Amino acid sequence: PTLYFVTTNAGKLREAKDLFKDYFEVEQVNTTYPELQEDDLSKIAAYGARYCADSLNREVIVEDSGLFVDALKGFPGPYSSFVQKTLGNKGILKLMEGVEGRRAEFRSVVGYCAPGEEPTTFTGIWWGDILHQETGTGGFGYDPIFSYRKFPVGEMTVEQKNEVSHRRRSMIQFRDWYLSRIK
Ligand code: ITT
Ligand code: NA
């Protein structure tokens, strides 16, 4: 089967293609959709999935994700996309200057919906630490400032990141649910 993934983010798409490679063809729908001004990524993903399924008239997934930094009380969280484009990684590092507690989590919520149906969401969380400087040339977005068990994510291959990431957890839950449904 072909899975339509509505996203403008090439990094998310690359990871989804690798995660689903033995199961589905992944087709990108490179378009934006209305994002609710909400703290809860699940609500944003559910709303987006329903909107896309109904407007494209096909079943789709969307994914809403973000970085939540403990010392910044969860910032940038739901504003991750905007903050990445404005402050960028250097801006986050600046806010974290002199801060010792560096725990942070990535969250990923996959929203699935078929036309006229209710949306379903799947959440994945990945704990790590904010580095003191940008490291590595791999990944995308906040990856160069995030490390998992002392391993900089900017130095991981897509396959290595896909073994352990938030996106692995959300996408695999979706995959197993979807496959059990079409059987
Ligand atoms: P969409 O078209 O799919 O919405 P987007 O980039 O706007 O793409 P989001 O609204 O979900 O995506 O915003 C998430 C932000 O967090 C965005 O800046 C991403 O680059 C970043 N992000 C998400 N997952 C990440 C990951 O695995 N590694 C690094 N940064 C990530
Ligand atoms: Na977005």
- Concatenate the DSSP letters of all residues of 70-90 into one string: GGGTT-BGGGHHHHHHHTHHH
Which of 110, 112, 142 lies closest to 129, judged by CA? 142
What is the mean pLDDT of the segment spanning 83-112?
A: 98
**The domain 2-182 is classified under which CATH number: 3.40.50.720, 3.40.50.300, 3.90.950.10, 3.10.180.10?**
3.90.950.10
Chain segment 26-79, per-residue pLDDT in tens: 999 999 999 999 999 999 999 999 999 999 999 999 999 999 999 999 999 999
Please state the three-class secondary structure of 89-117 as a single string. Answer: HHHHHHHCCCCCCCEEEEEEEEEEECCCC
Residue 183 has pLDDT above 80, yes or no: no
Q: Which residue among 12, 31, 159 is best mutated to probe the pocket of ligand 1, counting the most ligand atoms within 8 A of its Cβ?
A: 12
Asked if the interface predicted TM-score (ipTM) of this complex is over 0.90, the answer is yes
Which residue is catalytic, options 39, 54, 64, 176?
64
Q: Which residues line ligand 1 (CB under 6 A)?
A: 7-9, 12, 32, 63-67, 80-81, 84, 106, 139-143, 165, 167
pTM (global) more than 0.80: yes
Q: Is 22 in the active site? A: no
How far CA 70 is from CA of 18, 24, 65, 75, in Å, comes to 30, 36, 16, 8
pLDDT of 182: 79
Contact 36, 79 (CB under 8 A): no
Show me where the domains of the chain are located: 2-182
What is the mean pLDDT of the segment spanning 172-176?
A: 97
**Burial of 17 by CB count in 10 Å (0-12 exposed, 13-18 middle, 19+ buried)?**
middle
Q: Which residue is listed with tokens 């490679």? A: 21
